[in-house]
């Protein structure tokens, strides 16, 4: 299989009047032009997002090699973390909220202290970009998945390497740890999902993903469902029953590769973001579409849901971070660094 392009794919609440496909300008039924100010959050594509368990902190990573910290819900830009030399592809925040991990195309993982953002250490060992990160629920281990086809387990306390998990034959695209801490799932360009036991890292199963690779993974809070997003034509989003790994339901609608998925805390909805520039909201019970959000002007590359389940955060190759109410999907505002440009976005509705 030919290796594809691995990367293809102060914050202010600017309350918007309307978004394309997500409501109207007031109560007007006529064709109306709505202007919203959307500032750049990064100098390049926003590639990764993570929210801490308290819902008070958002981290974002970009193709500008920078990690940024933002306060939620008020929205102040808290800090800019520099140290990576290439794209920040993956982020994870420890369950206790004291550590942030960032994975980069520079092949390293960095650990940062929270909330101050102090660099605690650099975990070196991968030889290619680090596309996926996940802390175990007890916070003792950090798992990293890389384009070098390996998954590594690191001891969080001292940054030492606990083990290297081999079994994939092509790039690892994402990883996710089960909420009970017994299982780690990795996706790969080799069109498999590998299941690893925790904390030992033994390979307990491999599930084929016919028709394409998986790019993004998200467990349901109770661990009974796994959501995957990827390249499958027409079936880019799939719900899997866990731990059996049986595909339970395809969610059909995206027109291109899905780069990000997230599930609400009550497990009622799934959000997916795609290279087709849309965000889709799905009802888990039926698999039906709740809403299609057509607001970003470029690939949607990252998603995160706040712990209270009331907001969805999206990151895009259009350099913006945007906020949406749940379950309705209406526009709330955008995140922007005051040092970067402000652009006027025009949305039309009838």
**Does a structural domain hold residue 41?**
no
348 in any annotated domain? no
pLDDT score of 212: 86
Number of domains in the chain: 1
- Is 29 inside a domain boundary? no
CB 102 within 8 A of CB 67: yes
pLDDT, tens digit, 9 for 90 and up, residues 240-287: 999 888 888 889 889 999 999 999 999 999 999 999 999 999 999 988
Q: Which 8-state DSSP code applies to residue 197?
A: E
278: in domain:
no
What's the angle, vertex CA 170, arms to CA 164 and CA 175, rounded to 5?
55
- 74 belongs to a structural domain: yes
SS3 category, 231: coil
Sign of CA dihedral 93, 58, 172, 209: positive
Residue 223 domain-assigned? yes
Q: Are 185 and 198 in contact (CB under 8 A)?
A: no
pLDDT at 343 (0 to 100): 66
With respect to residue 24, please indicate whether it lies within any of the assigned structural domains. no
Assign residue 185 the CATH number of its domain: 2.130.10.10
Q: Give pLDDT < 50 ranges for the chain.
A: 1-33, 346, 348-350
336-348 pLDDT, tens digit per residue, is 888 987 765 645 3
For the CA atoms of 187, 280, 289, 247, the dihedral, rounded to the nearest 10 degrees, stands at 0
> What's the confidence (pLDDT) of residue 122?
97
Q: Which range marks the domain in which residue 109 is found?
A: 47-271
């Amino acid at each position: 299989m030919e290796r594809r392009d691995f990367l293809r794919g102060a914050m202010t609440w600017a309350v918007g009047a309307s978004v394309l496909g997500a409501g109207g300008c007031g109560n007007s039924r006529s064709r109306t032009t709505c202007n919203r100010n959307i500032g750049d959050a990064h100098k390049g594509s926003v590639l990764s997002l993570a929210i801490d368990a308290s819902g008070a902190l958002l981290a974002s990573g970009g193709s500008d090699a920078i990690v940024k910290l933002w306060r939620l819900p008020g929205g102040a830009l808290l800090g800019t973390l520099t140290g990576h030399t290439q794209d920040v592809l993956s982020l994870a925040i420890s369950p206790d909220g004291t550590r942030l991990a960032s994975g980069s195309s520079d092949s390293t993982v960095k650990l940062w202290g929270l909330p101050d953002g102090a660099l605690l250490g650099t975990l070196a060992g991968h030889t290619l970009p680090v596309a996926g990160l996940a802390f175990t629920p007890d916070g003792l281990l950090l798992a990293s998945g890389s384009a070098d086809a390996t998954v590594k387990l690191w001891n969080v306390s001292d940054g030492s390497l606990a083990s290297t998990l081999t079994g994939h034959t092509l790039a690892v695209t994402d990883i996710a740890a089960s909420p009970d801490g017994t299982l780690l799932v990795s996706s790969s360009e080799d069109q498999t999902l590998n299941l690893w036991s925790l904390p030992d890292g033994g390979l307990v199963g491999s599930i084929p993903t016919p028709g394409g690779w998986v790019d993004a993974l998200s467990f349901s809070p109770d661990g009974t469902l796994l959501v995957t997003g990827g390249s499958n034509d027409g079936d880019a989003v799939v719900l899997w029953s866990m731990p059996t790994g049986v595909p339970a339901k395809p969610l059909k609608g995206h027109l291109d590769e899905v780069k990000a998925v997230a599930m609400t805390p009550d497990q009622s909805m799934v959000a997916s973001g795609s290279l087709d520039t849309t965000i889709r909201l799905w009802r888990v019970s039926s698999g039906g579409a709740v809403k299609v959000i057509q607001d970003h002007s470029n690939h949607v590359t990252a998603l995160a849901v706040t712990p209270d389940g009331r907001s969805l955060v999206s990151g895009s190759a259009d350099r913006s971070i945007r906020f949406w109410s749940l379950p309705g999907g209406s526009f709330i505002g955008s995140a922007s660094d005051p040092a970067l440009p402000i652009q006027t976005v025009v949305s039309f509705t009838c």
